[in-house]
Amino acid sequence: MYNILTGETHDPTPEELDDVNGYTVACIRADQSTRFTDNHYGTCLHCGAEVQFRPYVPAAAKKICAECVSTYIGDLRRRKTVN
């Protein structure tokens, strides 16, 4: 797993994989082509665009489109600095 705020990485434990509270998954937008035919679909939490992601991504994880990732990370870092 990669922590976007600290830059640290580690192998997730089974417990961490089960607890997706607070986790955000970067996805591609639904209108982008992919070789996968079994993707699932959802909504970007930042801009509201329809996104696609792999079936093994936990349904409860937050999804964000690739176009919004850098803005979203910047917002998180600013909030962390302010708090």
Domain segments of the chain as ranges: 14-82
Task: Say which residue, 49 or 7, is predicted with more confidence.
Answer: 49
Q: Which two tokens stand for residue 9?
A: 């990485």
pTM of the model: 0.67
pLDDT at 66: 93
pLDDT at 19: 61
- Residue 21's pLDDT band, with cuts at 50, 70 and 90, is low
CA distance 39 to 17: 20
> Does residue 64 register a pLDDT over 90?
yes
17: DSSP letter: H
pLDDT at 24: 84
